[in-house]
Structure 1
């Protein structure tokens, strides 16, 4: 037999449940513009019917419903779309960083332009050709010296500017890893909070949102894999559990950086000093240290295996290797090529200049001076090249003549202007004077001019590729995020519809209480009074 107040209890449950739904709707509306917020919904669940199946159940025609309750408040999220977005975000982080690094290099190289190294060298060759027709003219000699200074200073400027940008990239790596470590710590702390709530049967949706927003941010720095571990206790089936996060390599292998109980800290070795005067900075390994002090390393020869992300791109630009003499990377390669070019140019020019004669009928001296640590690579040439002190103090020391005693002979100046066209074969160059003299240089083929053109061409091609891939990654990331937002974001129109729906249901449940109250009033006050 149903109780007298059964109807009141059913209606009361309806009121409370619709009220909960209205509160959740209000929460959604309030957070419609909150970044990272996922809309929430109340999962309505029918309560147990009466009577339950038993031997002594009352004899009524069938089970009667007992109303509704809010079974859970669940956020709406698609984990597959999250996975897709994070993959695209890591690719975007990689290509946007690479594009920025190459764009900065293009700005420094500034080619083609009237202020670049190419133009400085062209003016130097032209000044030498003018000197060949006026070898005794002091003005022509002064122009050659000044144009030589301009070439040397162009090399110096390019090297110092690129080194400064490279140092900035190193600082970005340090800052990026600090940010990564901060994110890992926050994710671990959120894991602990979620671990304390879920076993009690609650869904900490707002904590889930904060954690996912942090994982989204982390995916810009590294490609990551997220796995969930149940928090135990009386957690609901739809509870999302604890996140365990791993770095992903291109072959699918992973390195764990967040576990259910702790997180790791990332650093690089050798540490980045931040000293712009030290051009030999490099990274030999990424170190992953857990709370127990156990260290996992990703060595320099495995950096290429990292799937993607901003940190990988920064390391590739900054430089990595086993030691300072074996460093690869976009900026180290360019600096090394500038050294090769400067050393090859100056070595050939000096050798030809020494074959000539100055106004005092003395053999020519070195026109350029350099402080080089390795003749096979020309290391240090671009940073240190300058016009020699002898030439700077005495214009007569410029060896324009090819024969002693013939100060009006400008053939050697002409030969000097032909250095730009000297073909280099297997690191050997024959001087244009016809003397048969050969010199060894770091450039292995072509000419100094074509070598530089190749450098500029490579920057242009690499820059176009990086920009194209960045655009593609942006398009894909935006597309996936739009799909994700269509699932998770708050639609005010939809929430207004829900608000009206829940309000009507609330009003109907309240009206039901009024109706049952009238029924009970009739029973209590108007029945059993016959004959009174």
Structure 2
């Protein structure tokens, strides 16, 4: 009798285990398109008989069926850690590539509206004055084209300042998002701990937590490590951001004015301790853009404005205008001071074409105030041909920008391939394969049917036995 009823119990556990395995398979199929979901697997384990001998009896049953109590998440810890690192690197390089692309847009090169074209137009206008210095038309053209160049330089500087401010605002918002995400991870840590202690399922909670950690990796270069009770520890730049159920807050400090970069640069610190954090991911890319990349080209455009003003003013002050007056500074800072020029305040100081000093002859040498001499205009035009002048320096800078932008794009392309390969490998392990799940479903279905046959067989045996003893 004990053997017969033992067989019935074995069939019961088989029915329950196969049903649970089919439920897990159905959960996988239902979430095959759910972002961040990790496929699950019912861990089937055989149940043996007691291993403790009785005093006057020996249990010689072959086993007590099967158990499917445990449902595992299929994950590869190494690939998860690798994905976090690669996602952070890709995010940082993406910001770098975008930064160089925006800088190229600010300079508008090559193109008819770029500074190079505007420089060429201005020099050409001086050449026209040299050909016909007494005609007011070419003189007006010099002023118009110089004003266009000044406006182009100021526009480029304004675009760079706007780009810098956009990165600052973006990083400030990013830090707020990081704090919210870290708090959510800490809450999930506690929920998973409680579920683990009480023997409740927590796989879906772990999926949500891992998705948030991967998001933090992209945003700020976070990495995770397993801790006790199913919890994880999240670190950023050597600082522990999440430990158990508590999360450390970060904040962006530093001046929002790019001119204060040398004294008070933007940086990410812990709140309230103020310990410096060296982030990765998008935050690293934005900090690099604000502290290195954009300032490099802000300084370059400022140097262009200063060098242009120095060259033009020196050449212009060496000549005389149509009224026989020695030339004055052609460009200044808007307040009459040529020594404080930047790309942001560069201003055309002359508005009257007669004041253009196209002549190198003084009134006495010219024999009158309205001399037709235009050799100084030609001297100014010759500045464009210098191999060390403003034009040459600007072309060199633009070539360097193009090389850096191309390098950033190529690095991002290579990194994207690596990141995609890691993601594909991770997905091959934890992702849901519909063909595999359908195969499992058929396997569990046949096992369930076989267990049902076992129940029928045991039922027939019991029926036969009962009828025999009537």
Shared fold, TM over 0.5: yes
> For the residues of structure 2 that align with 1:373 and 1:359, how far apart are their CA atoms?
22
1:156: Cα distance to partner?
1.1
> For the residues of structure 1 that align with 2:336 and 2:191, how far apart are their CA atoms?
57
> For the residues of structure 2 that align with 1:226 and 1:409, how far apart are their CA atoms?
77
**Cα gap change, 1:373 to 1:400, in 2 (>3 Å):** closer
3-state DSSP of counterpart to 1:383? coil
**Cα gap change, 1:121 to 1:271, in 2 (>3 Å):** closer
2:253 matches 1:280: no
Judge conservation of contact 2:24–2:41 (CA < 8 Å) in 1.
Answer: yes
**Cα gap change, 1:372 to 1:196, in 2 (>3 Å):** farther
1:271: Cα distance to partner?
5.7
Judge conservation of contact 2:331–2:338 (CA < 8 Å) in 1.
Answer: no
> For the residues of structure 1 that align with 2:245 and 2:20, how far apart are their CA atoms?
34
2:46 matches 1:46: yes
1:449 aligns to what?
391
2:180 matches 1:182: yes
> For the residues of structure 2 that align with 1:246 and 1:198, how far apart are their CA atoms?
23
2:276 aligns to what?
297
1:295: Cα distance to partner?
3.4
Which of 240, 260, 279 is matched with 1:256 structurally?
Answer: 240
Judge conservation of contact 1:372–1:381 (CA < 8 Å) in 2.
Answer: no
1:511 aligns to what?
453
Normalising by structure 2, we get a TM-score of 0.93
1:7 aligns to what?
7
Q: Cα deviation per residue 1:121-162 (whole Å; 9 max; x = unaligned)?
A: 111111111211212111111111111111111111111122
- Tell me how many residue pairs correspond in the alignment: 461
> For the residues of structure 1 that align with 2:84 and 2:225, how far apart are their CA atoms?
14
> For the residues of structure 2 that align with 1:64 and 1:23, how far apart are their CA atoms?
28
3-state DSSP of counterpart to 1:399? coil
> For the residues of structure 1 that align with 2:245 and 2:421, how far apart are their CA atoms?
35
Judge conservation of contact 2:329–2:338 (CA < 8 Å) in 1.
Answer: no
1:517: Cα distance to partner?
1.2
1:235 aligns to what?
none
1:24: Cα distance to partner?
0.5
1:466 aligns to what?
408
Judge conservation of contact 1:185–1:263 (CA < 8 Å) in 2.
Answer: yes
What are the residue-to-residue correspondences of 1:19-98 with 2, within 5 Å?
A: 19-49=19-49, 51-56=50-55, 58-59=57-58, 62-98=60-96
> For the residues of structure 1 that align with 2:386 and 2:458, how far apart are their CA atoms?
106
> For the residues of structure 2 that align with 1:57 and 1:465, how far apart are their CA atoms?
83
What are the residue-to-residue correspondences of 1:149-188 with 2, within 5 Å?
A: 149-188=147-186
1:59: Cα distance to partner?
4.2
2:204 matches 1:246: no
> For the residues of structure 1 that align with 2:275 and 2:147, how far apart are their CA atoms?
50
> For the residues of structure 2 that align with 1:27 and 1:451, how far apart are their CA atoms?
65
**Cα gap change, 1:130 to 1:255, in 2 (>3 Å):** same
Judge conservation of contact 2:118–2:149 (CA < 8 Å) in 1.
Answer: yes
1:221: Cα distance to partner?
2.0
2:113 aligns to what?
115
2:360 aligns to what?
402
2:424 aligns to what?
482
Judge conservation of contact 1:400–1:413 (CA < 8 Å) in 2.
Answer: yes
> For the residues of structure 2 that align with 1:464 and 1:339, how far apart are their CA atoms?
24
Unaligned runs of 5+ in 2: none
**Cα gap change, 1:357 to 1:294, in 2 (>3 Å):** closer
2:251 matches 1:267: yes
3-state DSSP of counterpart to 1:86? helix
2:138 aligns to what?
140
2:221 matches 1:223: yes
Q: Cα deviation per residue 1:300-354 (whole Å; 9 max; x = unaligned)?
A: xxx5xx5x411111111122xxxxxxxxx21112111111110111122112211
> For the residues of structure 1 that align with 2:337 and 2:29, how far apart are their CA atoms?
68
Judge conservation of contact 1:421–1:448 (CA < 8 Å) in 2.
Answer: no
**Cα gap change, 1:318 to 1:372, in 2 (>3 Å):** farther
Which of 283, 291, 302 is matched with 1:311 structurally?
Answer: 283
Q: Cα deviation per residue 1:271-297 (whole Å; 9 max; x = unaligned)?
A: 64xxxxx553643431112xxx43322
3-state DSSP of counterpart to 1:153? helix
**Cα gap change, 1:294 to 1:404, in 2 (>3 Å):** closer
Judge conservation of contact 2:85–2:223 (CA < 8 Å) in 1.
Answer: no
1:63: Cα distance to partner?
4.0
Unaligned runs of 5+ in 1: 232-240, 249-253, 273-277, 320-328, 424-445
3-state DSSP of counterpart to 1:154? helix
Which of 302, 317, 324 is matched with 1:361 structurally?
Answer: 324
Which of 343, 348, 351 is matched with 1:387 structurally?
Answer: 348
2:462 aligns to what?
520
Judge conservation of contact 2:3–2:61 (CA < 8 Å) in 1.
Answer: no
| Higher fraction of helix | 2
| Greater RCO, 1 or 2 (C-alpha within 8 Å, sep 6+) | 2
Q: Cα deviation per residue 1:43-72 (whole Å; 9 max; x = unaligned)?
A: 0111231x4322425246x34211011130
| Larger mean Cα displacement after TM superposition, 89-98 or 175-184 | 175-184
Calculate the aligned-residue CA RMSD, in Å. Answer: 2.1
**Cα gap change, 1:247 to 1:374, in 2 (>3 Å):** farther
Judge conservation of contact 1:74–1:203 (CA < 8 Å) in 2.
Answer: no
> For the residues of structure 2 that align with 1:107 and 1:181, how far apart are their CA atoms?
33
> For the residues of structure 1 that align with 2:51 and 2:342, how far apart are their CA atoms?
92
Once superposed, which parts of structure 1, at least 4 consecutive aligned residues long, lie more than 6 Å away?
Answer: 372-376
1:467: Cα distance to partner?
0.5
